[in-house]
Amino acid sequence: MAANETKTQQTLSPREQAIRQLKVKGYLDQDGKPMGRRQFMVSLALAWATFAAALGGLVTILSAFIIPRVDFTRIESFKVGAPGNFPSKTVNEDFKSSGKFWIVNDGQKIFALSVVCTHLGCTPNWMSNESKFKCPCHGSGFTMQGKNFEGPAPTWLRRYEVSLADDGQIVVNKGRLFFEEKGEFEDPRSYIAV
């Protein structure tokens, strides 16, 4: 038995698979030579097989660029400090870049507010003099609590799960989002009472 005939279907290249099929159908002899008048059709079939293989490779390369290499299953948590580090009626921006959230103490609750605008995903800015978040992209405004009150944003900003660690620090769990429109801001995991 010839060595190439011991290859499994999985180890054959697309061209080799095409040649095998053409031999089975009688278009090629056992030496791989075209059979008479069928030569043109054989050449055409092999050209198509080569083209398909090249196209498949191109798609694979392109998809590596198009599909982000992000592990969405990775859950991030942040220890942000004790509740006493967040004075009443303040927005802490220490984690705006590294964690993509603000720590807000609105006088009644401490919560971790997502920095993702609920319109099209830009990052709003905290305007302490106006006590509101303002999105630079299309002008949406949000209160300190994250409520949308101006511009096109359709909903409140989201909140992340918060809890207290054994050492008394607040832990923000980015693996769990809370949505106001689902009534989830009443869930005690979405805030720490002060």
> Where do contacts with ligand FES occur on this chain (CB under 6 A)?
117, 119-122, 135, 137-140, 151-153
Cα separation, 89 vs 106, whole angstroms: 5
CB of 156 to ligand FES, least distance (A): 13
Closer CB to ligand FES, 38 or 100, in the complex: 100
CB of 132 to ligand FES, least distance (A): 13
Core vs surface per residue 48-79: b (16+ CB within 10 A) or e: ebeeeeeeeeeeeeeeeeeeeeeeeeeeebbe
Tell me which residue of 46, 65, 126 sits closest to 91, measured CA to CA: 126
Closer CB to ligand FES, 99 or 124, in the complex: 124
Closer CB to ligand FES, 137 or 177, in the complex: 137
CB of 155 to ligand FES, least distance (A): 12
Contact (Cβ atoms closer than 8 angstroms) between residue 149 and residue 143: yes
Closer CB to ligand FES, 56 or 121, in the complex: 121
